[in-house]
Amino acid sequence: MAVDKINVTGDTRVERRTAQVNGKTYGYLLGQPKAGQYRATVFLIHGFPDLSMGWRYQIPFLINMGLRVVAPDCLGYGRTDAPDPPQPYSHKQCADDIKALALSLGASKIILGGHDWGATLVYRIALWHPDLVTHVFTVCVPFVPPSPQYLSLEELVRTRAPNFTYQLQFKSEELEKAIRSKDEIRQFLLALYGGRTGDGELGFDARKGVLLDRMMRLGPSRLLGREELDYYTEEFARNGIHGPLNWYRTREINYRDELAILDRRITVPVLFIQALRDSALPPHLGKGMSKVIPKLTVKQVDTSHWALWEKPDEVNKILVRWLEEVVFVNGQSGSKL
C-alpha cells in the first residue's frame, strides 16, 4: 500500500511560511490538525542535500497523530537565507535559530526529529537548549558527544573514518566550481539520491565523493519522481550549493563552541533509527550511544541513507510506536502546547 505524502507542488495540509530569525529569513512548512488543537509541536530538521520536503512521507501521519509540524529549510537551503561565510552554519548558531523559530511560534517545548546533518543538529539543540526539547528522534546519524580534543577532518579520515573521505571533497570548492547550472544541479542531486548511468554505475562513492566524470550521464532515481526532482532542482537553484556545503566547513568552529558544553548530556528520551545500508554510516558507528544517552531506543531498517523515502512505511511504523509508547504514554506528552 502506498504511503501518503505531501505533494511538493502544493498541498492544503501544509502552509509555506517565512520568519525573521536572528537576522536571517527562514522558510518553513507548517502543518497542524484541522481542528487547530494539537498535542505537541514537532520540528523536523533535514540534512544534505535535502529540504523541508524531505519529510513529505512523515508530515501527514504526524498531523494525523495530533501534532503541529514545523519543517524548516535549514540555513543555506531552499527558501531560507544562504550566507556566504561558514560561521553562521555552526551548530550553535543553527541551534539558536531553531529555538528562536520555535519561540516565535509560541512553542516553549518541542519534539525534535532529524535526518543526516539534521540529526547531528538536533542532538546539539538538545545539548545547547535542554529547556526547549522534550524528546528526540533521529534517522541514520548516531550521536557523537562534544570532544575536548580537536581532530581535523583530514586526520579523522586518515586514522578512523575512511568512509568520510567524501567530506573532503564537499569541504573543498571543487563541487561549487563544477556545479552551477540547473542541469548540473539536477545531476548532482541524482548522484546523491542513487541515480545510475546506463551501465548501472552510481554517481557517488563515500570514499571519493561525487564522481564528476559520470555525473552528467546519470538517469532517474527510484527514490523520487520527476515532479519531485524538478521541485528539488528549482529549490537548490535559488542559491546554489555553496550554502549547503558550508555545513562541512564548520568542524573547528563547532569544536571551539562545544568546549563550553563538554559536561552536558542528553537526558530526554531519544529514538535512533539506523539505516543498515548507509555507505557513509556503517552500523557499528552507533554502538556506543547507549553509554551516553540513558533513555535510548534503537531501531534498524534495511535501507540506504535515504530511509525516509526508501522505506517510509517502516520508518513511520517505528515512529508511531515510539510516539505512542514513549512520548504520549498515558496520553501525556510533557510538551506545553
φ and ψ of 38, to 5 deg = -140, 155
Distance, CA of 5 to CA of 92 (rounded, Å):
32
Residue with cell 523520487: 224
* Closest by Cα among 336, 328, 318 to 271: 318
Q: Regarding beta strands 24-31 and 67-72, do their DSSP bridges make them parallel or antiparallel, or are they unpaired?
A: antiparallel
Distance of CA 259 to the CA centre of its chain: 24
C-alpha cell at 226: 520527476
Element (H, E) at 257: helix 251-258
C-alpha cell at 14: 501544509
Sign of the Cα torsion 46, 47, 53, 57 reads negative
In the chain the first and final C-alpha atoms are separated, in Å, by: 33
* Closest by Cα among 126, 97, 93, 92 to 109: 126
C-alpha cell at 266: 542528553
Helix/strand/coil (H/E/C) assignment for every residue in 58-89: CHHHHHHCCEEEEEECCCCCCCCCCCCCCHHH
Distance, CA of 306 to CA of 224 (rounded, Å):
10
28, β-bridge pairs: 17, 72
Q: Please state whether the peptide bond connecting residue 142 to the residue before it is cis, i.e. omega within 30 degrees of 0.
A: no
Residue positions counted in the chain: 337
DSSP code for 39:
S
Catalytic (active-site) positions: 116, 305
Residues with Cβ within 8 Å of residue 131, at least 6 apart in sequence:
none
